[in-house]
């Protein structure tokens, strides 16, 4: 038989999914597992969005759409970006995709040639580097320090790599929960302009900010509109993870080329899901309560767990520091799962910078978070 692709064979599956699968297997065996390894909101998709999906199916919206997406959704997306984010977007700059993950990949594939470097602040969602690998480019980690919420400095961005073409920025951040300040994003923008870099801005957690922390869209900064592709979706804001609906917005010279990748990879996002997406933009009332729940979950978990935590400012994750407990966080996570039935994700899946940490997802019912924190505290006594 002919050999398979070396590029694909070198890709490792996400450790977060592996942890979730082990946790699910234990649950099927009858264990009362608290799965804090899965990055999925705990609430139901709002009923009006589900109703809109049902109507779309009943009305026969099951055929191909324009590859860029149905016009009503692109127009509503552009309106959202203008009103909520301050991005001067038009519907012709939008591509609707089967999930934000697909939007990120076709953006990366559009921006890079084989061997190009892409800067990735670390710790980072594991798929960023793997997407860069699949594009046969080079992911270059830019490690942040725990004492600075893992946010790299401008000097690090200016020194990283040799001749990079892009930076990926995710705020609020998975896995750290850091919400990058305007000053921190300004330093990214300065480095991008100085080094003539594109920025891929993953804003899928934009609604999840705690306290006085605010989300800022880097595309609105001076000189950044023409070099920023903004990516978002409905998975986190509307608990639509399985619906697979996302979008990108960017300068026409990037968007028009990315559309070719969309046309050949997917043709279009699922038609009836797109129609439901139009409704989703107007169904946001649930978010205040959900964000407050996850903030309280953070406080309960951080105050009860025996491990020091990097207290999150947004998203719905936090990192716990287990460096004083083990030199193998993956083995330690497995031990905790077996001995406490609490599933946490080894930090190393988010890059070497997070070695010695475990990621906890706070997107659970509060009683489950309290149960997990109590079990860990009792285990450590």
- Section 311-324 average pLDDT: 96
The pLDDT, as a whole number, for residue 132 is 98
Question: If you search the block for the tokens 């994003």, which residue do you land on?
Answer: 185
pLDDT at 217 over 80: yes
Cα(369)–Cα(312) distance, integer angstroms: 15
Which of 225, 251, 280 finishes a domain?
A: 280
- Section 344-354 average pLDDT: 93
pLDDT band at 104 (very low <50, low <70, confident <90, very high): very high
pLDDT at 11 over 90: no
Same-domain pairing of 116 and 233: yes
Which of 280, 298, 317 finishes a domain?
A: 280
pLDDT at 172 over 80: yes
Question: Is the CB of residue 353 less than 8 Å from the CB of residue 150?
Answer: yes
Cα(104)–Cα(200) distance, integer angstroms: 8
pLDDT at 17 over 80: no
Same-domain pairing of 122 and 218: yes
- Section 130-157 average pLDDT: 96
Cα(376)–Cα(371) distance, integer angstroms: 9
Cα(342)–Cα(207) distance, integer angstroms: 27
Q: Specify the number of domains making up the chain.
A: 2
pLDDT band at 23 (very low <50, low <70, confident <90, very high): confident
pLDDT band at 116 (very low <50, low <70, confident <90, very high): very high
Give Cβ neighbours of residue 78 (< 8 Å, ≥ 6 apart): 89, 90, 91, 93, 94, 249
The pLDDT, as a whole number, for residue 381 is 85
Which of 257, 280, 303 finishes a domain?
A: 280
- Section 86-109 average pLDDT: 98
Domain CATH for 142: 3.40.640.10
pLDDT at 300 over 90: yes
- Section 303-311 average pLDDT: 94
pLDDT band at 338 (very low <50, low <70, confident <90, very high): very high
pLDDT at 214 over 80: yes
Domain that holds residue 21: 6-44+286-380
In a domain, 54, yes or no: no
In a domain, 245, yes or no: yes
**Could you read off the pLDDT of 239-278 as tens digits, one per residue?**
999 999 999 999 999 999 999 999 999 999 999 999 999 9
pLDDT band at 73 (very low <50, low <70, confident <90, very high): very high
Same-domain pairing of 248 and 320: no
Same-domain pairing of 78 and 37: no
**Could you read off the pLDDT of 178-201 as tens digits, one per residue?**
999 999 999 999 999 999 999 999
In a domain, 312, yes or no: yes
Determine which of 17-26, 67-76, 85-94, 367-376 has the lowest per-residue pLDDT on average: 17-26
pLDDT at 18 over 90: no
pLDDT at 14 over 90: no
pLDDT at 16 over 90: no
What's the Cα-to-Cα distance from 206 to each of 145, 150, 203, 279, 313, rounded to whole Å? Answer: 23, 18, 5, 19, 12
| 292 SS3 class | helix
* 31 φ, ψ (degrees, to nearest 5): -75, 145
- b/e sequence 321-352, b meaning 16+ C-beta within 10 Å: bbeebeeebbebbbebbeebbbbbbbbbbbbe
Pairing of the two strands 138-143 and 317-321? unpaired
DSSP state of 325: T
In a domain, 51, yes or no: no
pLDDT at 93 over 90: yes
Same-domain pairing of 153 and 272: yes
Same-domain pairing of 155 and 30: no
**Could you read off the pLDDT of 24-60 as tens digits, one per residue?**
889 899 999 999 988 899 999 999 999 999 999 999 9
The pLDDT, as a whole number, for residue 19 is 75
The pLDDT, as a whole number, for residue 151 is 97
In a domain, 52, yes or no: no
- Which residue, among 11, 18, 101, has the nearest Cα to 344 in the 3D structure? 18
């Amino acid at each position: 038989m002919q050999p398979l692709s070396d590029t694909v064979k070198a890709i490792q599956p996400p450790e977060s999914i592996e942890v979730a699968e082990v946790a699910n297997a234990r649950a099927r065996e009858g264990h009362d597992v608290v799965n804090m390894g899965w990055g999925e909101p705990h609430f139901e998709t709002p009923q009006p969005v589900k109703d809109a999906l049902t109507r779309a199916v009943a009305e026969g919206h099951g055929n191909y759409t324009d590859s860029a997406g149905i016009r009503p959704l692109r127009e509503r997306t552009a309106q959202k970006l203008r009103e909520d984010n301050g991005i001067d977007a038009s519907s012709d700059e939008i591509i609707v995709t089967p999930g934000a993950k697909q939007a990120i990949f076709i953006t990366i594939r559009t921006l890079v040639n084989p061997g190009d470097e892409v800067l990735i602040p670390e710790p980072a969602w594991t798929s960023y580097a793997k997407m860069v690998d699949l594009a046969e480019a080079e992911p270059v980690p830019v490690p942040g320090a725990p004492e600075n919420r893992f946010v790299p400095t401008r000097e690090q961005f200016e020194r990283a790599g040799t001749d990079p073409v892009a930076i990926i920025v995710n705020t609020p951040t998975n896995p750290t929960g850091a919400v990058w300040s305007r000053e921190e994003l300004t330093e990214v923008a300065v480095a991008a302009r100085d080094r003539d870099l594109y920025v891929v801005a993953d804003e899928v957690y934009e609604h999840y900010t705690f306290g006085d922390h605010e989300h800022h869209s880097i595309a609105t900064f001076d000189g950044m509109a023409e070099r920023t592709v903004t990516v978002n979706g409905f998975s986190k804001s509307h608990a639509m993870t399985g619906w697979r609906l996302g979008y990108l917005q960017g300068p026409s010279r990037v968007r028009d080329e990315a559309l070719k990748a969309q046309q050949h990879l997917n043709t279009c996002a699922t038609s009836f899901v797109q129609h439901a997406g139009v409704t989703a933009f107007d169904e946001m009332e649930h978010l205040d309560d959900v964000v407050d729940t996850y903030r309280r979950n953070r406080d309960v978990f951080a105050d009860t767990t025996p491990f020091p935590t990097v207290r999150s400012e947004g998203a719905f994750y936090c990192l716990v520091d287990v460096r004083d407990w083990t030199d193998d966080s993956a083995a330690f996570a497995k031990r905790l799962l077996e001995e406490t039935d609490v599933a946490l994700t080894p930090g190393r899946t988010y890059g070497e910078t997070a070695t010695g940490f475990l990621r906890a997802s706070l997107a659970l019912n509060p009683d489950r978070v309290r149960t997990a924190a109590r079990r860990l505290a009792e285990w450590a006594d």
